């Protein structure tokens, strides 16, 4: 399997208006390794959100290739992209974007059900674990409007995490939070990256977030520049770990990954998913399971 | 996505959507229910009225062939006697049926022979019936008696449709009249006179307005009809079924008018649903985009909103069914109170099913466009506004 969770090759994005063409991204090449916490920084209008949309299959590049978890998604149609998004990509947005008609638990269950490989019971089981990971198991049956901003963002993180995607894309995840709450959410993000080995890409203009990342990229006027990896906050992060030991969390993650692998194999047998997509996904999962088993 | 999962996601969404906006949901369901109720109650009334009219015509016309003249009352009794002699004819019943007046009230004047009273009166409520061909006696219809406060022993002055001539009759009986085939004309009720008295009142002794011909068993009524038409070319000869057909044509016209009213009701229901679903979809546009980012297919999102429309349609349809049946009962009561018809409450499963299906189908169909629009929007377009 590919060692990269995300590969962007020479991505260009041009927006056409009636009078002019605006080149927002000018041939961006980016490779994010598995388990990295990468930050893409840049001022407003620099194209960072466009880049994130393209990486997440929400938008199409004008040219270039997008490869997520070893699968080239560039030429996929909308429905194929939808299926890929369900299993391989998690999103966390600035304004949480929880669905108000669903409880916290149901919000987390949604992407699991949309994958088409989990039944309601399995989805519920995994969603409860994901909420446990973000420390919100006791709020599972609350609706978004009954939760604080920080809690809502943690639910959104649990939702992104639950299907064990290859990458989680975060667009200004602390943009709507106060300083303290933002710090808690960021500590959770960093801890998930450390403990779960979850690949996370954060788009932000907040330099403090960049301090947490393993790699930081700067985007300006549609071009990307890499800074050396930063590891200065490692010790700080160790101090702000959530409850539960790393071993327990790894066990939970291992169980979640095994559940996903079983469900995938079952879905393949029942011919519910495209076999061409599944190979890379199964390899990726087995790789992650092996890694975790070794760590335990 | 499995059907079970899709159902779970859709039902939870719709349940909360309806709970969170109770008033709009209730109003939409009521709008659909009112359309369906109008449709169902009018259908029940129509079916009941047709059945009642058919049974009346069959009761009133104790024969298979009906003979009319060219004018209102110009069928000669001599002709009737000759018709009676045609081979295959068993009996000929003459009758006069015209509009007249009691005071300023329009009434139907019915002239019959004493032996034919049983064909036009189903039940004598008070007093008795006449047993002679002539005499200043009259039987009042229950509806007319109620309207004009008539009692046995009262005297009424009856005027023919034209001229200033009038005659006075004593009410000797109050009865339920079954001969109500012309009630669509809506006069105020019936006054039954002995045949000769009716002829005198109209100034047409020896003439009647219609005659009902009963044929012998085994004889083809069509052959008798054709024979009468050939022998008496000046007459209008109709089969009983044709008379029923004419009655039904008139009723169909009225039904058509009523159904067009129903269509307005249904249109209101459709607009109500479209408007609710459109506003629901608009309201949830962002959430639709979020669902799409989470891996929801267009089909899954569409299912949620179609389910919502389906629930509105089905609930409105079932509620409309109940309201419709209750409304029909009220309608039957109103029609019966006029004393013309007493339509039975006939619940045709097809009508009820059609009402509910129509509501459900229209709700779903009317929701398709807004849903299609909502699922066509690329999530990135909606989320860009963040």
- pLDDT one digit per residue (tens) for chain A, 296 residues: 457 888 889 989 888 877 788 888 888 898 888 888 888 888 777 788 888 888 888 888 899 999 888 888 888 888 888 888 888 888 888 888 888 889 999 999 999 898 888 889 888 988 898 888 888 888 889 999 898 888 888 898 889 888 888 888 988 887 777 777 777 778 888 887 877 778 889 888 777 787 788 888 888 877 888 764 444 445 445 544 544 556 677 777 788 888 888 888 888 787 777 777 777 778 878 888 888 787 77
Question: Among A191-200, A224-233, B150-159, B246-255, which is the least confidently predicted range?
Answer: A224-233
Cα gap B159→B41, rounded to integer Å: 39
Tell me if A99 and B9 make a contact (CB, 8 A cut-off).
no
Cα(B132)–Cα(B110) distance, rounded to whole angstroms?
Answer: 15
- Confidence at residue B184, expressed as pLDDT on a 0 to 100 scale: 38
Residues of B in contact with A115 (CB under 8 A): 1, 295
Using the structure block, give the residue that is written with the tokens 């939970």: A252
Q: How far apart are CA B273 and CA B310, in angstroms?
A: 10
CA distance B221 to B237: 11
Asked if A50 contacts A25 with a C-beta cutoff of 8 angstroms, the reply is yes
Q: Beta-carbon neighbour count of residue A73 at 10 Å?
A: 22
Q: Which two tokens stand for residue B108?
A: 């139907």
Asked if the Cβ–Cβ distance from A100 to B1 is below 8 Å, we say no
Angle, to 10 degrees, between the axis of helix B285-293 and the axis of helix B349-376? 70
Question: A157-178 as b/e, with b when 16 or more CB fall inside 10 Å?
Answer: bbbbbbbbbbbbbbbbbbebbe
C-alpha neighbours within 13 Å on the C-beta side of residue A112: 31
Give the separation between CA A120 and CA A117, rounded to whole angstroms: 10
Provide the pLDDT for residue A292.
Answer: 78
pLDDT in tens, B166-206: 899 999 999 987 655 444 344 457 899 999 999 898 888 88
Nearest to A81 by CA among A54, A57, A59, A113: A57
Whole-complex ipTM: 0.74
Longest Cα separation, chain A: 59
Cα A254 to Cα A294, A295, B224, B281, B359: the distances in Å are 11, 11, 95, 39, 51
Confirm if A100 and A145 have CB atoms less than 8 A apart.
Answer: yes
* Among B297, B378, B384, beta carbon nearest to A79: B297
CB contact under 8 A, A114 and B290: no
Question: What pLDDT is attached to residue B188?
Answer: 57
Specify which residues A223 forms β-bridges with.
A220
Chain A residues lying within 8 Å of B378, measured CB to CB: 58-59, 78
Residue partners of A83: CB distance under 8 A and separation at least 6: A116, A273, A274, A277, B295, B297
Residue A246 Cα distances to A126, A127, A165, angstroms: 18, 19, 20
């Amino acid at each position: 399997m590919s060692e990269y969770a995300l590969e962007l090759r020479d991505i260009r994005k041009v927006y056409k208006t009636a009078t002019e063409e605006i080149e927002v991204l000018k041939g961006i090449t980016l490779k994010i390794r598995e388990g990295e916490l990468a930050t893409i920084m840049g001022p407003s209008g620099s194209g960072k959100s466009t880049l994130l949309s393209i990486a997440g299959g929400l938008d199409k590049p004008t040219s270039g290739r997008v490869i997520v978890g070893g699968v080239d998604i560039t030429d996929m149609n909308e429905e194929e992209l939808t299926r890929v998004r369900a299993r391989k990509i998690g999103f966390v947005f600035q304004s949480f974007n929880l669905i108000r008609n669903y409880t916290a638990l149901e919000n987390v269950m949604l992407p699991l059900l949309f994958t088409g490989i989990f039944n309601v019971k399995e989805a519920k089981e995994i969603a409860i674990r994901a909420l446990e990971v973000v420390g919100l198991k006791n709020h599972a049956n609350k609706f978004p409007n009954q939760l604080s901003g920080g809690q809502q963002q943690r639910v959104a993180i649990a939702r992104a995490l639950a299907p064990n995607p290859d990458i989680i894309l975060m667009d200004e995840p602390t943009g709507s939070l106060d300083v303290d709450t933002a710090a808690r959410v960021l500590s959770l993000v960093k801890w998930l990256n450390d403990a779960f080995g979850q690949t996370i890409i954060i788009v932000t203009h907040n330099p403090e977030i960049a301090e947490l990342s393993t790699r930081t990229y700067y985007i300006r006027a549609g071009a990307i520049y890499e800074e050396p990896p930063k590891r200065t906050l490692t010790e700080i992060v160790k101090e702000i770990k959530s409850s539960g030991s790393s071993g327990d969390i790894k066990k939970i993650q291992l169980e979640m990954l095994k559940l996903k692998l079983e469900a995938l194999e079952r879905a393949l047998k029942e011919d519910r998913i495209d076999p061409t997509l599944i190979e890379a996904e199964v390899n990726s999962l087995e790789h992650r399971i092996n890694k975790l088993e070794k760590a335990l | 996505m499995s059907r079970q999962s899709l159902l779970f996601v859709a039902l939870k969404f719709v349940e909360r959507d309806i709970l969170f906006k109770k008033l709009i949901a209730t109003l939409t369901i009521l709008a659909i229910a009112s359309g369906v109720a109008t449709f169902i109650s009018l259908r029940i009334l129509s079916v009941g009225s047709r059945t009642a009219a058919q049974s009346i015509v069959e009761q009133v016309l104790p024969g298979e062939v009906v003979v009319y003249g060219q004018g209102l009352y110009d069928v000669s009794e001599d002709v009737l006697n000759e018709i009676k002699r045609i081979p295959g004819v068993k009996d000929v019943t003459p009758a006069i049926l015209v509009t007249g007046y009691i005071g300023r009230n329009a009434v139907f004047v019915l002239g019959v022979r004493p032996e034919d009273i049983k064909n036009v009166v189903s039940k004598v409520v008070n007093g008795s019936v006449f047993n002679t061909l002539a005499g200043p006696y009259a039987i009042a219809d229950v509806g007319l008696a109620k309207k004009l406060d008539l009692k046995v022993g009262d005297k009424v002055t009856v005027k023919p449709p034209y001229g200033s001539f009038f005659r006075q009759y004593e009410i000797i009986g109050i009865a339920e009249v079954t001969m109500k085939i012309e009630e669509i004309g809506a006069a105020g009720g019936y006054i039954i006179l002995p045949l000769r008295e009716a002829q005198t009142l109209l100034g047409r002794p020896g003439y009647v307005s219609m005659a009902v011909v009963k044929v012998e068993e085994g004889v083809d009524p069509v052959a008798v009809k054709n024979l009468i038409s050939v022998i008496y070319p000046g007459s209008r000869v109709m089969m009983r079924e044709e008379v029923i057909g004419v009655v039904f044509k008139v009723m169909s016209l009225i039904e058509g008018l009523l159904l067009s009213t129903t269509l307005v009701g249904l249109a209101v229901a459709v607009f109500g649903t479209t408007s609710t679903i459109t506003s629901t979809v608009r309201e949830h546009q962002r959430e639709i985009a979020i669902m799409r980012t989470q891996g929801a297919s267009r089909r899954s999102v569409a299912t949620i909103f179609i389910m919502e429309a389906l629930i509105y349609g089905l609930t409105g349809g079932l509620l409309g069914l109940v309201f419709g049946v209750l409304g029909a009962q009220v309608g039957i009561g109103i029609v019966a109170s006029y004393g013309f018809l007493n339509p039975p409450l006939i619940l045709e499963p097809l009508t009820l099913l059609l009402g509910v299906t129509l509501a459900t189908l229209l709700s779903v169909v009317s929701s398709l466009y807004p849903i299609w629009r909502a699922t066509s929007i690329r999530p990135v377009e909606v989320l860009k506004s963040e």
